[in-house]
Structure 1
Amino acid sequence: MTAAAPARKRRTQAERTAETREALLEAAIGLLYRNGYSKTPIELIAEEAGVTRGAMRHHFRTRAQLMAAVIHTVYEQEHRSYREIAASRGRAAVLSDWPDMLWAVLSKPSGLAVLEVLQASRSDPELAALVMPMQARIEQMSFEAIKEQFGSDDEAETRAAIRLFVWAVRGLSIAQVLTPNPADTRRSIDFLKMLIEGATRAGLVDAQGRPGPARRTD
């Protein structure tokens, strides 16, 4: 006699709910990357996720709520990725490490999906009301992390550096899908790294991005 196969454990309602939500978010991210915001209606997202519109409405009452959840989900993924890269590769100790780290994280399809939603928020008041405070919180978290690691005392300068690096790399992530040879975009990341290293050698900043002797006036 053959042994009876073990009975499959039935999923709980909470597990089914979480799986449906995850499927919807993954479908939205993939469609945003492939089609753009204007061609990613909620009906298509539900179809891609394999759920009914009713089931989707149970999780997200409006398209704006779903898109805001995409932003939140991707930002959480990016935050984990930065920590994992820093821990596994021993990176992020110096300023010149950051272009490579940012590119590894922000050039993913999910990064393009975020840009689609952020751009759409300019003309959608409901979406902007959900997304803009989230964007501000993420920037503040980035500032606190950089301040803790590098000990920067100049808040305005640190924020300026964060915005320059993040949005330069986000812009290059768009160029990656528009240029005839996407691999060429990687050279721009290498050039940004070279500029940082040159500024360090010239004494404009130290390895942690703080003003060097050539910039200090006190």
Structure 2
Amino acid sequence: MTSDTRSIRATAGKGKAVRERRSQADRSAETRDKVLAAAIRLLHEGGYSAANIKAIASAAGVSLGSLQHQFPTKAKLMAAVVDQLARKRIEAYRAAADHIDDPWKKYGSVFDTTWSVVKEPEFAAVLEIMLARRSDQELRDETGPSFATNEATVKEWVLHLGEQAGDEVRAAEFSRTLSNTLMYGLAMQLAIGFDREEAEELVSYWKSLIRLAGRHPELLPERLRMGAKGAA
């Protein structure tokens, strides 16, 4: 065997190993995606108790061992669900805002984007996790950092847009909290069968009220009135 032949075979062997490693990484990512999708579906359709590890593995079409290789505990899987929604939410904010030049309209786009995310199955799944945390210490400990980090990221993004639009920070935070409370409540209602058209009507009406209140800062709590500017 010539040195050239040995070199070619060695190179081919390395290429094969790289392809195998890449293939393993691809398979691992595919398994992870299937498990997360199954977990979200079961959380959305049947609630937290229905989304047990065996049921999720079955729905994902993977072995229990493969699932547990990715997520050793249910709590870790639930934290991954929370993180996935947070990434989707930030991506949605940016996608909606990036093509808008006017700072105030860009800031106002947050309302519609939040609602578009909140009414999706992923958000209903996260609501189930939030409720389950009340009585599950392991779940609370495992998902706590995800909830805290993700909320801080979203809040920073939204308030940054508000600052660019000239809204007073405390008033912007108040409006965001109030609107989120309404939309989160509607998301829970939708999960238990609330009429979607009526939900859309309520959100549209609320958006109009927010715009009206923006022209009347005297309606804000007294501590927030100074320098307040409402939604366009």
TM over 0.5: yes
| Matching residue of 1:144 | 156
CA–CA distance in structure 2, aligned partners of residues 118 and 69 of structure 1: 13
CA gap of 1:61–1:213, structure 2 versus 1, over 3 A, is: closer
CA distance in 1, matches of 2:190, 2:177: 20
The corresponding residue for 1:24 is 35
Q: Compare the two structures and name the one with the higher helix fraction.
A: 2
Q: 1:129-180 CA deviation, whole Å, 9 max, x = no partner?
A: 1222221212221232133222279665544433322232111112224355
TM-score by length of 2: 0.77
Residue 3 of structure 1 is matched in structure 2 by none
Write the distance in 2 (CA, Å) between the matches of 1:144 and 1:121: 24
2:122 is equivalent to residue 106 of structure 1? no
Alignment of 1:1-218 (within 5 A): 12-88=23-99, 93-94=104-105, 96-151=108-163, 157-179=171-193, 181-204=195-218, 211=225
CA spacing shift, 1:214–1:169, aligned 2, 3 Å: closer
Secondary structure of the 1:93 match is helix
Percent of aligned pairs sharing the same letter: 32
User: Match of 2:9?
Assistant: none
- CA separation of 1:188/1:67 partners in 2, compared to 1, >3 Å: closer, same or farther? same
Change (3 A) 1:177 1:198: same
* Alignment length (residue pairs): 204
CA distance in 2, matches of 1:176, 1:16: 35
Structure 1: which amino acid aligns with 2:205?
F
Distance 2:101 2:188 in 1: 28
Can you give the 5+ residue segments of structure 1 that lack an aligned partner in the other structure?
1-8
Structure 2 unpaired stretches of 5+: 1-18
Structure 2: how far apart are the matches of 1:44 and 1:50?
10
TM-score, normalization: structure 1?
A: 0.81
Q: CA RMSD in A?
A: 2.9
**Separation in 2, partners of 1:199, 1:61:** 49
Relative to structure 1, is the Cα distance of residues 162 and 202 closer, same or farther in structure 2, using a 3 angstrom cutoff? Answer: closer
Deviates more, 1:33-42 or 1:157-166: 157-166
By how many angstroms is 1:96 displaced? 4.7
